[in-house]
Amino acid sequence: MSVNERETWSSRIGFVLSCVGAAIGLGNIWLFPWRLGAYGGAAFLIPYLFFVITLGSTGLMEEFAFGRERKAGAIQAFKEVYAERGIDWGDKLGVIPVLGVTGVFVFYAIVVGWILKYFVLALQGQFAVIDKLPAYFGSFAGTPKTIIWHLLAIIITILVLRLGVKDGIERINKVMMPTLFVILFILLLRSLTLPGALEGIKFLLVPEWSKLANPKTWIMALGQAFFTVSLGGAAMLVYGSYLDEDADIPASALQTVIFNTTASFLAAFVIIPAVFAFGLDPKAGPPLLFITLPNIFKQMPGGYIFSVLFFLSIIFAALSSTMNLMEVPVEALMQRLKISRKKSVILVGGLTFAVGLPLDLSMKLFGHFADFVTIYLIPIGAVMAAVTYFWVYDITKARQAINQGSDNPLGTWWEPFAKYVFTIVAGVVLILGIIFGGIG
Ligand code: PHE
């Protein structure tokens, strides 16, 4: 294929599954389950579902349509819109969301490295023999031992991306996503039938209505809604840029939200009941995956096979995200430097690996970097994309672009909602994230 011929998805289901793969990631697995329990159980679902269905799908429709309309990633798409208004530095603005998403890729690739290592440990049956799991993780993460795994994560992503959108990303997601859901169902049955699982189910489901009076519940639900569907102004936009004119964007956005939310629930009901059954503390973040759960597999009947399945499912969830994340800078360099996909993946792989190396060696640096990217860059990118498409471009034309090919087109009522409510709330997500030190 020549350098300037743009690929398209081969099927609608392939596109949606790739978006589902992009959306489902660490946010669903190490944030949602704990948040659901900690912020009121079933009560938390009210703000969360409300935000993810209204705002999450609006943001997805915006990114899909913006990308499809311009047949380009964020840098070129921004450039064109601003140029039409006589502003010639739109591309410089478009660099920010691209950098944000690339930043997520940098730290995600490191986590995928840890997951690959733990998958191998599971295969070797090591959880049964490792004495102190917290000490083990402490002697691995943040040390040179992670480098090779980090490199492996990047190489796997490179191998998929160099095959292209249709033959690489789409084809592998069509296998990985259904398999991910099947594995999560198997794990669900195991977890729910553990003696003592009921306490965990209660933690997740018994509504604590009083928590709805606490603004933090709403704030965390809002941050989760934006982060979990990958709103940052570039990641979903690049997948949208490979869409045909007859693709149904509102339906695809809604399907992405629904599958993504289903995966969050499954993860919650796999993880939390097991945590309670073994009398452990539900936690968020790396300790959950790399300490608490291995500890459970150690004691659980059938722990070996379930640990292998569990880490395999996490690999699918996380790798399908790194493919999307890496595609953003890969597309940008292909377009800017007029180089082939194969060259671009090597360039991006090498550069992001080099940037990530210092983070391999220091968990503190890793934390600061991940915070900077997720608290500042990603929300800024989401705001910039909304402002650019809904304000600088034109809200009516944006709605028409979204409706192109749709069976259920959005009415004019949607315009003030997107232009004012969505854009302002995206700004609020940014500000609250800064105040609270991260809500996504
Ligand atoms: N949605 C991803 C997750 O849940 C994270 C992400 C956010 C990816 C923003 C890209 C952009 O893990």
Lining residues, ligand 1, CB within 6 Å:
23, 25-28, 101, 104, 227-228, 230, 232, 235, 321, 325, 378
> Can you tell me the distance from the alpha carbon of 91 to that of 365, in angstroms, rounded to the nearest whole number?
30
**Is the separation of the CB atoms in 297 and 127 below 8 Å?**
yes
Which residues have a Cβ under 8 Å from the Cβ of 269 and sit 6 or more positions away? 188, 191, 192, 201, 204
Nearest partner of 379 among 196, 169, 232, judged by Cα: 232
Quote the CA–CA distance of 117 and 286 in Å, as a whole number: 14
User: Ligand 1 center to residue 112 CA distance, Å?
Assistant: 14
CA distance 191 to 185: 10
Which residue's CA lies nearest to atom 9 of ligand 1?
Answer: 230
So what's the pLDDT on residue 285? 86
Q: Angle at CA 152, nearest 5°, toward 343 and 379?
A: 75
Residue whose C-alpha is closest to residue 205's, from 280, 268, 276: 268
Q: Can you tell me which atom of ligand 1 is nearest the CA of 100?
A: 11
CA distances from 387 to 243, 258, 416, 425 (A): 22, 26, 13, 12
Contact 353, 151 (CB under 8 A): yes
- The full length of the chain comes to 440
Architecture in CATH for domain 12-436: Orthogonal Bundle (1.10)
The two tokens of residue 207 are 């509504």
Distances (CA, A) of 346 to 161, 330, 342, 416: 10, 9, 7, 43
Residue ID of nearest Cα to ligand 1 atom 6: 230
For residues 132 and 113, give the distance between their C-alpha atoms in angstroms, rounded to a whole number.
21
Q: Which atom of ligand 1 is nearest to the CA of 325?
A: 10
CA dist., res. 102 & res. 352, Å (int) = 8
What is the three-class DSSP state of 140?
coil
Full-model pTM: 0.96
Q: How far apart are CA 174 and CA 172, in angstroms?
A: 5
Half-sphere exposure of 439 (CA within 13 A, CB side): 25
Q: How far is the CA of 228 from the centre of ligand 1 (A)?
A: 5
Q: Which residue has the tokens 């189910």?
A: 201
Are 7 and 331 within 8 A, CB to CB? no
What is the CB neighbour count within 10 angstroms for residue 299? 13
Residues 301 and 242: their CA atoms lie apart, in Å, by: 46
Q: Do residues 422 and 231 lie in contact, with contact meaning Cβ atoms separated by under 8 Å? A: no
Q: How far is the CA of 327 from the CAs of 159, 241, 279, 288, in angstroms?
A: 12, 11, 41, 28
User: How do the domains of the chain map onto residue ranges?
Assistant: 12-436
Contact indicator for 158, 349 with CB cutoff of 8 Å:
yes
Exposure string for 239-276, b = 16+ CB within 10 A, e = fewer: bbbbbeeebbbbbbbbbbbebbbebbbbbbbbbbbbbb
User: From the CA of 325, how far away is ligand 1's center (Å)?
Assistant: 8
The protein residue whose alpha carbon is closest to atom 10 in ligand 1 is 230
Integer Cα distance of 243 and 231 in angstroms: 18
Helix (H) or strand (E) holding 23: helix 12-23
Mutate to test the pocket of ligand 1, among 228, 262, 374, 429 (most ligand atoms within 8 A of CB): 228
**pLDDT value at position 281?**
86
Among protein residues, the one with the nearest Cα to ligand 1's atom 7 is: 230
Ligand 1 centroid, distance to 313 Cα (angstroms): 17
Q: Residue 4's pLDDT is what?
A: 56
From CA 114, how far away is CA 131, in angstroms rounded?
19
How confident is the model at residue 284, as a pLDDT?
84
Residue 115's pLDDT is: 97
| Closest residue to atom 5 of ligand 1, CA basis | 230
Write out the two tokens for 49: 């579902």
> Which residues of the chain are modeled with pLDDT < 70?
1-4
**Burial class (CB within 10 angstroms; exposed 0-12, middle 13-18, buried 19+) of 107:** buried
CB-based contacts of 101, cutoff 8 Å, min separation 6: 232, 233, 234, 235, 325, 328, 329, 378, 381
Any residues with CB less than 8 A from the CB of 108 and at least 6 apart, and which? Answer: 25, 26, 318, 321, 322, 325
Q: What pLDDT sits at residue 283?
A: 80
Query: How confident is the model at residue 376, as a pLDDT?
Result: 96
